[in-house]
Chains A and B, each alone.
Chain A
Amino acid sequence: MSTAVYEHPHKAVYRRFVEEVINLGRYEVIPEIFSEAYVDHNAPPGAPAGGGLAAVEAIPKLFRGAFPDVHFTIDDMVVSGDWVATRVTGRATHLGRPFANIDPTGLKATWSSFGFFRVENGKIVEHHGAPDIAGLRAQLTRPIEPGSLDENRAIVTKYVYATNMGNFDAFDEFVVEDYVDHDPVPGQEPGREGLKNAYRTFLAAFPDIWFTFEDLIAQGDLVVGRGVIQGTHKGEFMGVPPTGKVLHWTGTRMFRVRDGKVVEGWINFDVMGLLQQMGVVPTPPAPDGPVAPSSKGLRGALSTPSANEALMRSFIEEVWNQGRLDRADEYFHPEATSPSAPALPPGGAGVKVIASMFRSAFPDYWMTIDYLVADDEKVAARFSQGGTHQGDLFGIPPTGKTVRFTEMGILRIADGKVVESWYDVDMAGLMQQLGVGG
């Protein structure tokens, strides 16, 4: 993150490029950073010819498409005259599209990149670049040790990529015949054939459906993947006739992998968001207050899977089960935000808002961690929660009903604090049990 210390303006403009365009994907600020006369002397194959702002946008987009979590760290910058020379380290996971003809495998890579940038009137006008693409390629094609966490990540990544490509043979290759689905769609038959038919239901409604993983966390035989689903609504879905709209919704999936195949699966996805975009459920009004800036760029020291697991367990116990809301400030960085709830205030304050909302609607509220998956940066959990509806919830007056619903949540941890979090809650299941909508 930028600091208050003076920085040479050439370095500051390059820092904006890295921190905003590459790390946050804010392509709209490119005209503030690059001149329209921009020339790239080392444009990679496939970049739009002739330079200009389109070329600036194409390369970070290409990287983000292949590596949805791409993040650059600036190691060194030196300035002389109009020029700033830069040395950066890229870190990314190959979860998205093929890169340099290599299909995604879920492998992580770290590579160096060097550049010479010329700055004129506060904008970058010229650039020579030397990214270590050969080193990156070597890491993306390295052999995967059988039985390793990398192999489990690769199986899940290849399976989901193949289903995105409409390859039904992938189900037979990557999923066992007696597969167990913990979150079947209504009417889904058991096993792999049932899974295929459920997928056909989605394909019929969204012929171009595409699930992009943005995160993959593996521990033991479990893999949790958080992502964004996109599809054009061309067929009936949940009783809603086709709207022809391109819809985007989030989903978090968990897979149990044994002997190279998926044996069990879980999913929570944002059904309410989907129904809102279809126009059958009212969209809540946009927040009137200012929205906190994304904490995606907040980085810090990594931890250990066991420390991250302990943090998740005590956070859930203290804040959600015991209602000690003040403890949220201990667990959350003051600038932490959640893309799942961007309107909430940042840090522990946002946690307090949402936890007190649920705890006042369900005075006997409880939450359990059914599964937990942690690595050195993130901890994911599948939760069950419930209680008796005795207070107002999103404007729904108390029904007295006892409910139980699931959720998938992920915390990203840096320097021992939660800096970013994501949630997919079975709101449709909750609403159905309360007797509204569904």
Chain B
Amino acid sequence: MTSEQNERIVRRFFDEVWNRADLTVVDELLAPRFVDHNPPPGSTGGPDGYKRSVAAFRTSFPDIRYTLDHVIAEDDIVAIRLTGSGTHRGPFMGVAPTEKRMSFSGMTFVRLEGGQIVERWGIADIPGLMSHLFGAHGDASTGPAAAAPVGDEVLVVRADESRSTTWVLGGHNVCKATKADTGGGFSFFVSTFPPGEGVPDHTHHQEDEAYYILDGTWEMYDRSRGITTTVRPGDYVFVPRGVLHGFKNASAEMGRMIVVIAPGGLEGFFEGIGFTMSDVNAPHPPMAGPPDFERAARVAASYNVSFVVPGRGAGQA
């Protein structure tokens, strides 16, 4: 078989098996000894396992359709870049039907012998698909879908209780829920900043952040768009991951706000760059002196957070 013939076989396979739902073609074009090196979860292997996987996928997405964006054939190998699309009308990986139109990308390598596919390697962007179905963006395995179940009872963290209390860059953070408490879903803080204090410009590359203002008047900086917004008690602010942002308590009183960061885990970052306090209500950090922005930036890098170090970048808070 030439590489052109192999390419035609692979195009026919996707068209008839996936787009026309003709499973008999599987027996014709997959060799009995077919091996899938990256099988979908629960696959029993071989051509029969492949047929069962196609049928299961079609139950979730009855109008599933693959577009072959790019096919490269050389010798006995065919490489395919593809896009799958369909409507979510049946349960999929534990998600009830959402009726959403979805699409996902994938790449597949197959090896042919004597006009039949004998091996497959491939990956589909299932995390991207899952997050699409959940309406979240980013990696679903860190989002609500994959947050591990945590206990089976209502949990109360009292006013004077904290899971981790830190002083970071002039602010005091009482962590009411850590990554461990929420199965990775989110971290929840109540943060207090003295007048004039804030957090310098930084970017979370992996987390979204929401603020709800309790006390004080604050300046919120969206450096990605060059916008400063004044916010007051009752106002809600959302900072998507990837946006360069900072804030400052612009009032003459203590400022207080709720901070929710998802997925969870940045309490470890606060512990790394700040001072961990044993007393929830400790009024002052244990050491005076200017915040160590260099150290903060270094620890931040390990949490995939980037700071604009004062004196090195423009627009610090």
Could you tell me the distance in whole angstroms from the C-beta of B195 to the nearest C-beta in chain A?
Answer: 28
Proximity string of chain B (178-211) to chain A, C-beta cutoff 8 Å, 1 when within and 0 when not? 0000001000000000000000000001110000
B121 touches A87 (CB 8 A): yes
Q: Give the CA-CA distance A84 to B271 in the complex, in Å.
A: 46
CB of A16 closer than 8 Å to a CB of B: no
CB of B309 closer than 8 Å to a CB of A: no
Q: Which of A65, A137, A167, A207 contacts B141 (CB 8 A)?
A: A137
CB of A103 closer than 8 Å to a CB of B: yes
Proximity string of chain A (362-403) to chain B, C-beta cutoff 8 Å, 1 when within and 0 when not? 000000000000000000000000000000000000000000
Q: Give the CA-CA distance A113 to B138 in the complex, in Å.
A: 19
Residues of chain A within 8 A (CB-CB) of B285 are none
CB of B263 closer than 8 Å to a CB of A: yes
B interface, size bucket? 35 or more
Q: Which of B78, B206, B302 contacts A45 (CB 8 A)?
A: B206
Q: Which of A79, A80, A112, A115 contacts B38 (CB 8 A)?
A: A112
How many A residues have CB within 8 A of the partner chain? 36
Report how many A-B pairs have Cβ atoms within 8 Å: 110
Could you tell me the distance in whole angstroms from the C-beta of A390 to the nearest C-beta in chain B?
Answer: 48
Q: Give the CA-CA distance A85 to B139 in the complex, in Å.
A: 25
B123 touches A132 (CB 8 A): yes
Proximity string of chain A (112-128) to chain B, C-beta cutoff 8 Å, 1 when within and 0 when not? 10111000000000001
Residues of chain A within 8 A (CB-CB) of B107 are 85, 114-116, 128, 130
Residues of chain A within 8 A (CB-CB) of B237 are none
A134 touches B141 (CB 8 A): yes
CB of A2 closer than 8 Å to a CB of B: no
CB contact list, B73-101 vs A, under 8 A: 73-75, 77-79, 81
CB contact list, A74-110 vs B, under 8 A: 75-76, 78-80, 83-85, 87, 97-98, 100-101, 103
CB of B241 closer than 8 Å to a CB of A: yes
B206 touches A100 (CB 8 A): yes
B127 touches A134 (CB 8 A): yes
Residues of chain A within 8 A (CB-CB) of B302 are 97-98, 165
Residues of chain A within 8 A (CB-CB) of B38 are 112, 132
CB contact list, A140-175 vs B, under 8 A: 165-167, 169
Given A78-B72, A114-B107: A100 and B142 within 8 A (CB)? yes
B72 touches A79 (CB 8 A): yes
Chain B's closest residue to A165 (CB) is B272
Q: Which of A75, A83, A130, A165 contacts B72 (CB 8 A)?
A: A83
CB of A208 closer than 8 Å to a CB of B: yes
Stretch at the interface among B25-33, B45-53, B168-176, B291-299: B291-299
Given A85-B79, A97-B301, list of 8 further CB < 8 A pairs? A78-B78, A85-B72, A85-B81, A112-B38, A112-B123, A130-B106, A165-B268, A167-B276
